[in-house]
Structure 1
Amino acid sequence: MTAATKADVAPLTPEQRADFDRDGYLMIRGALDSDETARYSAALDRVYEEEKAAGRLSPEGSMHKLSAATSVPEMAELLNHPKTFHYVWSMIGWNFHVYHSHVDVHPPIEGKRPFRFEWHQDGGRQNREIETDPRPMLSVKLAYFFSDLSEPGRGNTKIVPGSHKWNRIDGPPRRDVEWPDPPGAIEVTGEAGDVLFFDRRIWHARSDNYSDVTRRVAFFGFTPRWIRARDEVEDLPNRSWWNDLDPVQQQLLGGCAPTGDHGWGHYPDQTPVYQWLAERDLLDPEYPPLKP
């Protein structure tokens, strides 16, 4: 396992903090050496081939797999890598954990993919249910590049520098309506071994990969440890009394519907409390947390 060493315990400088506060991101150049990059890339390719054999890739042949360290155990070395770890604790202190991570592989695609407006802030329902302007940071993310993304058009992450202080951007009436990127948008470029460190609020999206390079990236999201259930609810579905609970009770104890519901609220019609409110006509289009 790679661990932070004494040579890499200095916090970010005041200038780096100011840059991060202004722009919402920092680039960490050359964080991984060539041997590390090759090892993680090979591990990611191994899992990609397993997912391909199991028929779990997207129609375009891409892979988006949650729980990076569980899916690719070698990635656990990146949790506190000595070249990146101090960026995280410099910005959010010591009382944090990884609450969300994923590994992505995006091979080149042929032909033009149907348009979909993908610009978003991370955090799901946080961005509707917290009323401050701007909303709080709450989490930061590290994105490790295992491919040469030094040119645009390779599936690069697109961001709008400084947009982490914006609660909204203009967008289309439906995601499939052609719409321009937000003003000031850029594609983040970097060599294999570079890392993007960003505020989860920054507006971002992924570009389509029309190059001849396969994009390989791992993302780790860090948040305060109090953003989680404190009750001991692990392994609840295997408790003898679990199936006696109604769906609302299961949600309140941390359960998720098998059809895709999770805590970010991307699937409201699959979320028991949403269903309970909808059945009673208690949703309210005028109040963001209760919008249908």
Structure 2
Amino acid sequence: MTANAALRAAALTPEQREAFDRDGYLMIRGMLDANEVARYSEVLDRVYAEEREANRLNANGGMHRLSAVTAAPELADLLNHPKAFHYVWSIIGWNIHVHHSHVDLNPPIREEQPFLFKWHRDGGRQNNDIETELQPRLAVKLAFFLSDLSETGRGATKIIPGSHKVSRIDGPPRRDIEWPEPEGAIEVTGEPGDALFFDRRLFHAATHNYSDISRKIAFIGYTPRWICIRDEVEDLPNQPWWNDLDPVQQQLLGGFAPTGDHRWGFYSQETPIYTWLEEQGLLDPNHPPLKPER
């Protein structure tokens, strides 16, 4: 697993933070090297074979496997990857865990699929239960590209830049009714090893893979620890590989003080990400999620 001491990246620059606040996403080129892409791609192939054997693929032979690290412990190194993790804590701070993750593998589709309006924003009930019209951020997500999505039509995600700052977008009364593409929508293309970092409020949609290659991608979502975890992580501390994780990875998987005031963030000095940021001099009194506690 990734050593905690190897995480040396500085916080996002003011220009990066401004772009993220304006557009709701950042595209990060070359996040993973070729060896990492090959290794994680093989991991997804293995999980795909397991899901196929268990008859859990969708009608088009696609895999959408929730709880990424539970499905494949090798993916734990992505949780706090040295080239990725500073995007997360720079925006939402230290009192966080991974609440929702999944790995997707979508083989080529040979027949035109019926229309479905797939545009949505992440958060589930948060989008219904919070009374404010302009919703708070609450979560961010990293999407690691593990196959060549450099051309459109390969199943890459579509987004609407800036849509994290609107309360809604127009859509049909039923998802299967033909409807125009939202204004400003783009398909996010990228090379193997690239990563998309985005605000959970950003409206986005899956697309179909009509190419000749399989689309492979790993999504990891981060949120404050006072929001519950959707992933299946309850049994992870009992797994033989759990003690191979560093403390930051254990915190992200919900294994550090899973209940009570500690999860709310009252005991910062006992929280691995806070103490690591403090040791590195990366706390920031001008940014509330990174404000020193003393």
TM-score (norm. length: structure 1): 0.77
Aligned to 1:28: 28
TM-score (norm. length: structure 2): 0.76
SS of corresponding position for 2:98: strand
Q: 1:4 Cα deviation (Å)?
A: 5.2
2: CA distance, partners of 1:12 / 1:195 = 15
Mark the runs of 5 or more structure 2 residues left unpaired by the alignment: 236-294
1: CA distance, partners of 2:187 / 2:9 = 30
Aligned to 2:125: 125
Q: What is the correspondence of 1:235-250 to structure 2 with a 5 Å cutoff?
A: none
Check the 8 A contact 1:3/1:82 in 2, yes or no.
Answer: no
User: Within the alignment, does 1:14 sit opposite 2:33 as a pair?
Assistant: no
Q: 1:150 Cα deviation (Å)?
A: 0.6
2: CA distance, partners of 1:22 / 1:5 = 32
SS of corresponding position for 1:8: coil
Distance change in 2, residues 1:166/1:39 (3 Å): same
SS of corresponding position for 2:119: coil
Check the 8 A contact 2:9/2:83 in 1, yes or no.
Answer: no
Amino acid at match of 1:201: R
2: CA distance, partners of 1:208 / 1:124 = 23
User: Within the alignment, does 1:56 sit opposite 2:73 as a pair?
Assistant: no
Amino acid at match of 2:8: D
Check the 8 A contact 1:3/1:80 in 2, yes or no.
Answer: no
Q: What is the correspondence of 1:249-260 to structure 2 with a 5 Å cutoff?
A: none
User: Within the alignment, does 1:185 sit opposite 2:190 as a pair?
Assistant: no
Task: Provide Cα deviations, 1:217-244, integer angstroms capped at 9, x if missing partner.
Answer: 0101100001139xxxx68xxxxxxxxx
Check the 8 A contact 1:4/1:82 in 2, yes or no.
Answer: no
Report the aligned-residue RMSD: 1.4
Amino acid at match of 1:225: R
Q: 1:5 Cα deviation (Å)?
A: 4.8
User: Within the alignment, does 1:171 sit opposite 2:208 as a pair?
Assistant: no
Aligned to 2:258: none
2: CA distance, partners of 1:5 / 1:157 = 33
Task: Provide Cα deviations, 1:121-173, integer angstroms capped at 9, x if missing partner.
Answer: 00011111112231000000000000000111100100000000111100001
Mark the runs of 5 or more structure 1 residues left unpaired by the alignment: 236-292
SS of corresponding position for 1:103: strand
Amino acid at match of 1:140: V
Q: Percent identity?
A: 68
Aligned to 2:43: 43
